[in-house]
Structure 1
Amino acid sequence: MENKIIVGIDVAKEFSYYSIITPNGKQYGKPFKAHNTLEGLEKVSKKLKEVEKELNVPCVLVMESTGHYSSILFHFFHNSNFEVCIVNPIQTNSIKNIKVRKVKNDKVDAYRIAILYKLGEIKPTKPPKKEIHQLNILCRQYIKLVDDCTMYKNNLISLIDQVYPEYNTAFSNITSKASLYILENYPSAEKLLNADKDTLITILATLSRKSLKWAKTKYNALIDVAKSALKIGCAPKSSEIVIKSAITILKTLIKQKSTIEKEIKAIAKNIEEIKLLTTIPGIGIISAAIFISEIRDFSNFKNARKLVAFCGIDPAVVESGKFKWNKVKMSKRGSGYLRRVLFMIALASIRKNRNSQYINPILYNYYSIKIKSKPKKVALVAIMHKIVNYIFAVLRDKKPFRIITPEEHNKSYRQSKLKLTLVS
């Protein structure tokens, strides 16, 4: 073990507890509390530097990852030239029963976090690059906006099903500009039937950027929907207010999502890793940005298996003696954002493009073989594994991706091994 002073930090919203462990494993003084303010953090920094001077060894600060609360402390102490380690809460939770007696408080938690470092499983954490940190905040907000849009869209659909039960026969995409205009201005069958025909047809053609002939057909379909709604619609008068409210919120969310998306693309276009990932079929610039912003520093991963584990799609092994659990599941120990984006990439990789050609025929063939003996979701997880291997290879070699068959890959691998053997 390194000859260092270990400072365990239990981070809370307004204050944190600090427990100092000397290189010989003994506690230095009593755990103390300090507020997470500039004044409080400066006092802690001063105290730690005094301890360093007294014991003539450097401090390493260890804290649990607690979102933005730990981020503030991490950046302050890192800028104060301290070595800082961020610990996964799963790891700190694993040592809560290090003693038989059940004790749970901030002082004890700070001590346990410090002890965890002595086990040798914690490595210093590097602050992310400025543009990666910006991307991470933007990408997570983008995902949240996507979820909010979906929620309000589903809410709107449930209302429309009551007001216009057959509305989907007129508009398959309820959030199109023309559809939202109709719902916002004519939130009841009576209002739609009383609308001026020529004006409505012109507006439909303008918003949809299509011909008047198309708009007339759409108008007739809407009238049929409205007539049907008079007989089978069941929504009360108050639903009109709720529909308008939901549309206003949905429009705002869509606008904000578009703004965030533009900002992500503006930053991503200058990041080489993202450019490389977009050469892989099925990975767009947003997906690539989310992936890179979540892994932060690719140099932390020595091989593809470590990257797979970080994504949380590695198998959770359950064995004890002769017992082996036969229902293998994903560990889900990594970033949920990574698993989400990988799942979407996997779906995109096995679909067809506009020319009816598969995005990645090699992956599709692999998927089609898998689903013969495995459930579709299991096969998709296998595709996710393949994609992570693609990503690792592209980032490791710093070369654009190209689709090759397994036979070509094996041939290339054998040739490279032969060259290495000849050189040695």
Structure 2
Amino acid sequence: MIFLGIDVSKFKHNCFLSNGDNFDLGQHFEIENSREGFDFLFDKLSPYDRDNIRIGLEYTGNYHLNLSRFLLNLNFNIHFFNPFQTSLFRRADSFRNTKTDKVDAFFIAKLLKTTYDSNPTLFEFYHNYDLKSLCRYKSVLKKDRSRLKNSIVSCLDIVFPELCNVCNDVFSKYVLAILYEFSSAYEISKANITRLSNLIKNASRGAYSKDKALVIRDAARNSIGYFSSSVSFQLKQSIDYLYFLDKKIDEINEMIKPLLDEINSPIMSIPGVGIELGPTIISEIGDISRFDSSSKLLAYVGLDPSINQSGTFHSSFSTMSKRGSSYLRDSLFKAAFIISQIEPVFKEYYLKKKAEGKHHYVALTHVARKLVRLIFHLLKEDEVYVSKV
């Protein structure tokens, strides 16, 4: 069996090739991250039987994607490792505190031999990559939107602090429409009531009209808000950017929908797992065949408890390991909160944990673990969720 460990980087990839009998006699070489480099690697591997070659890489940013796609297209067996896993293996194998690209490639090759029973990555891995890429990009935009909303609230605290008292949601469409045209209490107090009423009526689709306009204008006339042209300008710019982000997030959701239809995952049948959470959970878990048990999936998510025990000492306090994807863990917690409110089995389980004296977030962690076990079962058996009402 031939083992090839590859330490990937932006401009070049360090490789270590060995037949597995004696790794000290293996061959080290570098390839450029280019077509010429990829072709050179293929020539290096050509003398060997393709079925007897195992290739290992780390998940390192996005630098591994082009190389691994090239090798998968040629039907090579690819195995991915978490950088944390290879780091622990390197430390366990050697007392030397040495980390170079050459050393990393060497230990990835050795780890390949140690984990001989691991399943290779299938080409379907890249069908999932597009979904994961879109979900993570959407997460970035949603964080930007959250920060922007905080900025808008800060502006309102200066120019019209009373607005939140007369409007339940300052980010509702009709409120944003008013602020975009009249971006301070002073401007609203001078606004024509007919113009203000029409703005509210059109933006709220008839839900509010003149009565709400009068309430808002009266609050503006009695406001302690300070009129600042610079803050009003910032408020209007922020609202404009908020509209832009909302539009881009909607466009991403439209791109996600056909990918979801193609994957047709049972995860989408779980109550509370919709277009906002489902795609992230599906893409971050990926191929369920990588996990032999639900406990391994829990460890991958980072929801398994950390254990501290030595000799007769047993720590009574444990926390989540949090080793896995933060995107996945965050989506699972949000899904756990929703499902504990609307699904009887999970609601009963949450209330049981609360009755045991557990804090809300601790109880929610238990619900999230139960949800992971459910997801593992549904994916393994390819079953849709049926509510037990």
TM-score (norm 2): 0.92
Q: Which residue pairs with 1:5 in the alignment?
A: 2
Structure 1 equivalent of residue 378 of structure 2: 394
C-alpha RMSD of the superposition: 2.2
Instruction: Note the alpha carbon deviations across 1:73-102, whole angstroms, 9 max, x for none.
Output: 111112123221111011111134333333
The structural deviation recorded for 1:228 is 3.3
Tell me the residue number matched to 2:36: 39
Which residue does the alignment assign to 2:146? Answer: 150
- Which is further off, 125-134 or 293-302? 125-134
Q: What is residue 79 of structure 1 aligned with on the other side?
A: 73
1:281 aligns to what? Answer: 271
Alpha-carbon distance between aligned partners in 1 of 2:196 and 2:304, rounded to the nearest angstrom: 55
- Of 237, 240, 249, the match for 1:248: 240
Q: Indicate if the aligned counterparts of 2:3 and 2:53 stay in contact, CA closer than 8 A.
A: yes
Task: Output the amino acid matched with 1:369.
Answer: K
Q: Is the 8 A contact 2:193 2:214 kept in 1?
A: no
Aligned 8 A contact 1:178 1:204 in 2: yes
User: Could you tell me whether the CA contact under 8 Å between 1:313 and 1:330 is conserved in 2?
Assistant: yes
1:140-195, Cα deviation, whole Å (9 max, x unpaired)? 22222222211111111111111111111233222222121211111122222222
- State yes or no: 1:262 paired with 2:242: no
1:94 matched residue in structure 2: 88
User: In structure 2, how many angstroms separate the alpha carbons of the residues matched to 1:146 and 1:117?
Assistant: 38
Tell me the amino acid that sits aligned with residue 15 of structure 2. Answer: Y
Deviation digits for residues 195-253 of structure 1 (CA, Å, limit 9, x no counterpart):
22111201210110125xx3222212221332233xx3246331122112211211111
Amino acid at match of 1:365: E
**Alignment partner of 1:360 is 2:343:** yes
In 2, the alpha carbon distance for the partners of 1:390 and 1:19 equals: 41
152, 156, 160: which one aligns with 1:160: 156
Q: 1:181 to 1:285 in 2, by over 3 A?
A: closer
**Matched residue, 1:105:** 100
Partner SS state of residue 400, structure 1: coil
For the pair 1:67 / 2:73, whether they are aligned, the reply is no
Task: Tell me by how many angstroms 1:376 deviates.
Answer: 0.9
Paired residues for 1:132-151 under 5 Å: 132-151=128-147
Residues 376-415 of structure 1 correspond to what in structure 2 (within 5 A)?
A: 376-404=360-388
Q: State the Cα distance separating 1:29 from its structure 2 match.
A: 5.6
Per-residue deviation, residues 43-97 of structure 1 (Å, max 9, x unmatched): 12212224x27xx983322111112101111111121232211110111111343
Give me the whole-angstrom Cα distance separating, in 2, the residues matched to 1:397 and 1:57.
29
What is the match of residue 173 of structure 1?
Answer: 169
Q: What is the deviation of 1:38?
A: 1.0
- Which ranges of structure 1 fall in alignment gaps of 5 or more residues? 352-358, 406-424
Query: Matched residues in 1 for 2:326 and 2:165: separation?
Result: 37
Residue aligning to 2:297: 307
Instruction: Report the 3-state secondary structure (helix = DSSP H, G, I; strand = E; otherwise coil) of the residue aligned with 1:31.
Output: strand
Q: Which residue of 2 aligns with 1:204?
A: 200
* CA shift digits 1:265-297 (9 cap, x unpaired): 233234332xx3333222224422222212111
In 1, Cα distance between the equivalents of 2:96 and 2:261?
A: 55
- Which 10-residue stretch deviates more, 4-13 or 236-245? 236-245
Corresponding letter in the other structure for 1:83: N
The answer (yes or no) to whether the contact 1:5–1:57 under 8 Å persists in 2 is no
CA contact (8 A) 1:291 1:341 kept: yes
Counterpart in the other structure of 2:319: 329
Counterparts of 2:211 and 2:94 in 1: how far apart (Å)? 75
1:322 positional shift: 1.8
Distance 1:299 1:112 in 2: 25
Determine if contact 1:20/1:31 at 8 Å carries over to the other structure: yes
Of 184, 188, 196 in structure 2, the residue corresponding to residue 188 of structure 1 is: 184
Provide TM-score, normalisation by structure 1.
0.85
For the residue of structure 1 that corresponds to 2:115, the secondary structure is coil
Contact 1:128 1:296 in 2 (8 A): no
Q: Which runs of 5+ in 2 are unaligned?
A: none
How far did 1:130 drift? 5.3
1:23 is aligned to 2:20: yes
Amino acid in structure 2 at the alignment position of 1:318 = N
Preserved contact between residue 138 and residue 260 of structure 1 (Cα < 8 Å): yes
> Matched residues, percent identical?
33
TM superposition shift of 1:392: 2.5
In the alignment, what sits opposite 1:297? 287
- Specify the code of the residue in structure 1 equivalent to 2:166: A
Amino acid at match of 1:36: N
Asked whether the 8 Å contact 1:265–1:286 carries over to 2, the reply is: no
Q: Distance in 2 between matches of 1:330 and 1:117?
A: 28
Identify the match of residue 354 of structure 2 among 350, 371, 380: 371
Q: CA offset at residue 347 of structure 1?
A: 1.0
Mapped to 1, the partners of 2:79 and 2:227 lie a distance apart of 57
How many residue pairs match? The answer is 386
What displacement does 1:403 show?
Answer: 3.0
